[in-house]
């Protein structure tokens, strides 16, 4: 699908990659962007419609789908990261991140599926390279992204016959609040957003939007165990 004249909804649109996605879509000629956030923020561009949405709240998702029935592109971006290994993070951390990172994209996809079928639209789920192999220091986050990746694959198959494309995005480290503690080279949110839109327009099922992600993808294609070992180290 083309971004020009699209009507997008971006979750977690108030900062980080989500805010960059909003701006990239405006620059690419989107007709309207619903900027969904727990605390919506005003935007100077009149094409932006701020929308209150806590993605952990299924009733709020249903209300958003009712309000934004003209959406042609759903960007599931909202996410949370809690660090810690499998023992220190604990089951509660797993549960919290599963709700936001794993279940919410599925619930949003289901709620917006009628609109996306009507428009022959698209869904992009912002996952992470740790969906491919876990980083043990981010055990619960990795698990939540792996769940989201699996559901994204099922979603793609289930919507293929309806003309809705589903894109899985696997970024490496990005320079946002979420990665503030991560001491690695980071890509700018603007560059990630541009790569995501280019991937959607190109029809890429899997989008690796930065150099680190592309390096992981190449390694993964050759030897997944080597990537897992690298992440584990």
Ligand X SMILES: NC(=O)c1ccc[n+]([C@@H]2O[C@H](COP(=O)([O-])OP(=O)(O)OC[C@H]3O[C@@H](n4cnc5c(N)ncnc54)[C@H](OP(=O)(O)O)[C@@H]3O)[C@@H](O)[C@H]2O)c1
State the Cα torsion 97-100-106-110 to the nearest 10°: 160
**Cβ count within 10 A of residue 183:** 8
Indicate whether 97 belongs to the interface with ligand X (CB under 6 A): no
Site for ligand X contains 181 (CB under 6 A): no
Q: Which single residue is written with the structure tokens 């480290």?
A: 173
Instruction: Give me the 115-144 binding string for ligand X, x by CB under 6 A, dash otherwise.
Output: -----------x-x----------------
d(CA 172, CA 192): 10
Which of 179, 190, 198, 228: binder of ligand X (CB under 6 A)? 179
Number of Cβ within a 10 Å radius of residue 233: 7
Contact 212, 129 (CB under 8 A): yes
* Two tokens, residue 153: 């694959």
CB 35 within 8 A of CB 22: yes
Q: Which of 121, 173, 199, 209 binds ligand X (CB under 6 A)?
A: 173
Active-site annotation holder among 34, 112, 141, 212: 141
Contact with ligand X (CB under 6 A) among 1, 51, 61, 100: 100
141 catalytic? Reply is yes
Least separation in angstroms between residue 120's CB and ligand X is 25
Binding site for ligand X (CB under 6 A): 11-12, 14-18, 37-39, 53-56, 77-81, 100, 126, 128, 171, 173-174, 176-179
Residues designated catalytic: 141
């Amino acid at each position: 699908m083309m971004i020009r004249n699209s009507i997008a909804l971006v979750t977690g649109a108030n900062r980080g990659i989500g805010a960059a996605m909003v701006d990239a879509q405006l620059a690419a000629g989107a007709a309207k962007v619903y900027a969904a956030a727990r605390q919506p923020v005003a935007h100077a561009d009149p094409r932006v419609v701020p929308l209150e949405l806590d993605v952990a709240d299924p009733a709020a998702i249903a209300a958003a789908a009712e309000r934004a029935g003209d959406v042609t592109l759903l960007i599931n971006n909202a996410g949370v990261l809690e660090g810690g290994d499998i023992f220190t993070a604990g089951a509660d951390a797993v549960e919290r991140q599963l709700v936001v990172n794993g279940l919410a994209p599925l619930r949003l996809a289901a709620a917006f599926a009628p609109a996306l079928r009507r428009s022959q639209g698209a869904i992009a789920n912002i996952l992470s390279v740790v969906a491919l192999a876990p980083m043990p220091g981010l055990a619960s986050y990795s698990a939540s992204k792996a769940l989201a990746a699996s559901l994204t694959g099922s979603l793609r198959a289930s919507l293929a016959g309806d003309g809705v494309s589903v894109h899985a995005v696997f970024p490496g480290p990005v320079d946002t609040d979420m990665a503030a503690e991560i001491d690695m080279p980071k890509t700018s949110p603007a560059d990630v957003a541009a790569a995501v839109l280019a991937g959607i327009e190109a029809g890429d099922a899997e989008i690796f939007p930065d150099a680190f992600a592309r390096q992981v993808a190449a390694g993964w294609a050759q030897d997944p165990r080597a990537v897992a070992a690298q992440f584990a180290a």
